[in-house]
Amino acid sequence: MAQKSLEGWTNSESPWVPERCLSVTVRGPWGHFRRVEGNVVKQTYRIIPRTTVAGLLAAVLGIERDGYYELFGPEQSAIAIEPVDDLRTVNMPVNALSTADENLQSLNARGKVSVKLPDPTDLRQQHNYEVLVDPAYRIDVALGDEKRYRELRETLEAGKSHYVPSLGLSEYLAELEFHGEFTIEDGATDGVVAVDSAVPDAVDDVVLDRKTRCGIEESPAFMTVDAGGRTTTAFTEYVYNPAAEPLEVRDVDTSVTDGRTVVFV
């Protein structure tokens, strides 16, 4: 093995492989991670998307919007996502005002500062949101950027966050519980193994029986900045147990950290 520049990182010409990770549970009373496919009902992913995890951790670090995609890129980061509690949803109707330019009016238009707000006399539009109830996920994250990794560790240890973390929507505030820093060890790669985390890109490898609950969803994994703002560059298809129990999978590369079997992506 090549000489390490910092415990947890290996310098070599091969793809970056993390040896240590930070582990944190994020939870809240409500959550909504809007599915990219359009629908009258604004449906939510059950498993928090990897891109949302990246945005949440970037908020902890105080990184501006669209400024963290490289930090959480496929060759610079590794993330495992484990549901902690049952994944339950309810449909919640929400009355909203349009924020289209033609529906905004200026306040203090004659002053130096002008603020545009929706016209309160307009008719409300009702949207149905599918909302997660008491969502909680344990996140294991490793970063190739040593400086940012240390900064994230110190910030989480101090129980601080630069921006207020949320679960999808800004009004769905999140609570973070930092568990610590743990080594990442190679797990089983052959045969059947029980995996605690959601398992990426392994739908055909799940071992099912009548007692096993199983869900499948494809969500954004990586993004990049472009002329129009940001673009999703890759998706991950997760298979998971809605009851937050392990799934048995066959011939999947796994890792072990803090006594749990997970799969990073």
User: pLDDT tens digits for 48-58?
Assistant: 999 999 999 99
3 exposure class (CB count in 10 Å sphere: 0-12, 13-18, 19+)? exposed
Average pLDDT over residues 33-40: 82
Let me know how many helices (H) and strands (E) the chain has, helices first: 2, 18
17-31, 101-115, 177-191, 203-217 — which is least confidently predicted? 101-115
Token pair 């891109």 is found at 51
Structure tokens at 90: 């309810």
Rounded CA gap, 215 and 243, in Å? 10
End-to-end CA distance of the chain: 22
pLDDT at 262 over 70: yes
136-140, 209-213, 225-229 — which is least confidently predicted? 225-229
133-142, 151-160, 199-208 — which is least confidently predicted? 199-208
pLDDT of residue 153: 98
Of 42, 41, 129, the residue nearest 93 (C-alpha): 129
Rounded CA gap, 263 and 80, in Å? 6
pLDDT of residue 197: 98
Of 261, 259, 257, 141, the residue nearest 197 (C-alpha): 261
Query: Where does the pLDDT of residue 123 fall: very low under 50, low under 70, confident under 90, or very high at 90 and above?
Result: confident
What average pLDDT is seen over the chain? 89
Q: Is 102 helix (H, G, I), strand (E, B) or coil?
A: helix
Rounded CA gap, 260 and 135, in Å? 20
Query: Where does the pLDDT of residue 159 fall: very low under 50, low under 70, confident under 90, or very high at 90 and above?
Result: very high
pLDDT of residue 157: 98
Token pair 């919640």 is found at 92
pLDDT of residue 111: 57
Percent over 70 (pLDDT), the chain:
90
pTM of the model: 0.87
Task: State the greatest distance between any 2 C-alpha atoms of the chain, in Å, as a whole number.
Answer: 72
pLDDT of residue 108: 64
